[in-house]
DNA sequence: TGTCCGCTTGGCAGTCACTGCCACCCGGGC
DNA sequence: GCCCGGGTGGCAGTGACTGCCAAGCGGACA
């Protein structure tokens, strides 16, 4: 997919507009009444769209909030694999997450989304499930970097390293949310990893 | 009766019997047709109980499989807190999981349950969600052990250590499932943690 | 023994997320 | 003017789950 730098295409444009409209409406309602108390019917109505069409844009209610993770996973994988061969898995993954953080435009909105996810159990479950997919995506790169100079790497070892990095990202994100977004996410991550590996 | 620890109470007994009957029926059907293709109505019918009552024993379909995690969390917390004060958080948590593994009677059934969970995304999401609760339970004990001799411990650090241990348990469990139960779970865990902290 | 009481149970109707199906509309090519 | 492909809405249905209420059942007690 890296080849086709997909142009806006006028058709995508309107699609993006509809998606954004649904998303904004939903986030407003979630903030006003809570996630569970807001029904799909209500979101569709206020966004001026049929319930049926809403499900064509977002497969599930959870995906209205957690949807964009899909694309970001690919970016993470590509970034990690693009790191210099000399980089350790830890360094490569850290670089990957650094890019992800920059990739998100509005930091205020990111905080809003993340806070909602971390305070809503079913959303957090979905979020974790998608991050599991990310782990599978970067696993090959991690395995390759761990194999440098030595024999084959047991899957457990690569899986453990990957999962640990994600666990630290999680701990850092939680602390970031708890701080109301005032703390520095990258510093929190470094402190988390230092506590583990230090 | 003599010791206050467990009161069979005759009433609990029949409850346990009903729970086991529902559980066995469900696991059989899940194995035959898959988790998603099996409906609550079908489980209730084959277990000879009304749908309404089934939901009184298991709040959700997922809890039929992931239900017993609730009680085990308390056992984990108690065990970790009961470790000698000199034990590091890593040692205390490892001891906790060791007890958990022994706590489960039938290892074959444990493998069956775990395999099902790891192969069914919504179940795995639920499972992860419950393990998050375990993390909250043991967090105080971890914090206390990290504070030994030093100043207050930032929450990120304790959360990172806890989450890392759980990540390694997860990696080990996945490898264990992949091996069909033939590998040794404790050894896999040790190897996972060594890959991270080594 | 009969009666009351608390607890469990089952059925029923309703909600909500989500899906399949089909009829409809709308812009562009011929 | 006609056709046609893709987006859209409505509608009925499924499956998980909940609230409500009436019925059963065992024990306590007179």
DSSP string, B78-132: HHHHHS-TTS-HHHHHHHHHHHHHHH-S-HHHHHHHHHHHHH-HHHHHHHHHHHH
Taking the CA atoms of residue B157, residue B161, residue B163 and residue B164 in that order, the dihedral angle to the nearest 10 degrees is: 130
* Residues of chain A neighbouring B192 (CB-CB closer than 8 A): 156-157, 159-160
Tokens 């529902």 appear where?
B22
Judged against a pLDDT cut of 60, whether residue A83 lies above it is answered with yes
Q: Please check whether strand C approaches the CB of A52 to within 7 Å.
A: yes
pLDDT tier at A107, thresholds 50, 70, 90 = confident
A178 contact B CB<8A: yes
What pTM value is reported for the model? 0.92
User: According to the model, what pLDDT value does residue B6 have?
Assistant: 45
Candidates B189, B165, B190, B166; CA nearest to B176 is: B189
CA A62 → C1' D18, Å? 21
Tokens 């990696």 appear where?
B171
A161 contact B CB<8A: yes
* Residues of chain B neighbouring A164 (CB-CB closer than 8 A): 164, 167-168, 196
Taking the CA atoms of residue B189, residue B191, residue B196 and residue B197 in that order, the dihedral angle to the nearest 10 degrees is: 100
Cross-chain residue pair B125–A129, CB shorter than 8 Å: yes
User: According to the model, what pLDDT value does residue A6 have?
Assistant: 47
Neighbouring residues of A164: CB distance < 8 A, sequence distance ≥ 6: A196, B164, B167, B168, B196
CA A27 → C1' D10, Å? 26
Q: Name the DSSP class of A148.
A: T
* Residues of chain B neighbouring A172 (CB-CB closer than 8 A): 156, 160
Cα(A116)–Cα(A110) distance, integer angstroms = 10
Ranges assigned E (strand) in A29-89: none
CB < 8 Å from A in window 35-94 of B: none
Tokens 């769209």 appear where?
A49
* Residues of chain A neighbouring B160 (CB-CB closer than 8 A): 167-168, 171-172, 191-193, 195-196
Q: Is A146 helix (H, G, I), strand (E, B) or coil?
A: helix
B188 contact A CB<8A: yes
Residues (pLDDT < 70) of chain B are 1-10, 149-150
Most confident of A1-10, A96-105, A119-128: A119-128
CA B18 → C1' C4, Å? 29
Tokens 């850092």 appear where?
A172
Neighbouring residues of B30: CB distance < 8 A, sequence distance ≥ 6: B38, B65, B116
To the nearest whole percent, how much of chain A has pLDDT over 90?
80
Q: Is B14 helix (H, G, I), strand (E, B) or coil?
A: helix
Per-residue pLDDT of A13-36, as tens digits, reads: 788 899 999 999 999 999 999 999
Written as six digits, the tokens of B7 are 């009161």
**How far does chain B reach from its first CA to its final CA, in angstroms?**
50
Of the listed ranges A25-29, A41-45, A68-72, B17-21, the one predicted with least confidence? A68-72
């Amino acid at each position: 997919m890296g080849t086709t730098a997909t142009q806006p295409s006028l058709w995508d444009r309107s699609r993006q507009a509809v998606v954004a409209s649904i998303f904004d409406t939903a986030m407003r309602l979630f903030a006003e009444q809570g996630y569970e108390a807001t029904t799909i019917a209500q979101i569709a109505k206020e966004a001026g769209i049929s319930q049926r069409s809403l499900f064509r844009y977002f497969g599930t209610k959870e995906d209205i909030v957690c949807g964009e993770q899909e694309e970001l996973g690919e970016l993470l994988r590509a970034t990690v694999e693009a790191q210099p061969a000399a980089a350790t898995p830890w360094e490569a993954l850290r670089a990957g997450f650094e890019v992800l953080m920059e990739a998100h435009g509005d930091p205020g909105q990111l905080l809003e989304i993340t806070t909602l996810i971390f305070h809503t159990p079913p959303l957090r479950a979905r979020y974790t499930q998608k991050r599991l997919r990310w782990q599978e995506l970067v696993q090959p790169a991690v395995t390759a970097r761990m194999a440098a100079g030595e024999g084959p790497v047991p899957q457990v070892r690569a899986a453990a390293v990957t999962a640990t990095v994600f666990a630290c990202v999680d701990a850092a994100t939680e602390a970031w949310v708890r701080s109301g977004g005032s703390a520095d996410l990258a510093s929190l991550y470094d402190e988390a990893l230092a506590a583990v590996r230090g």
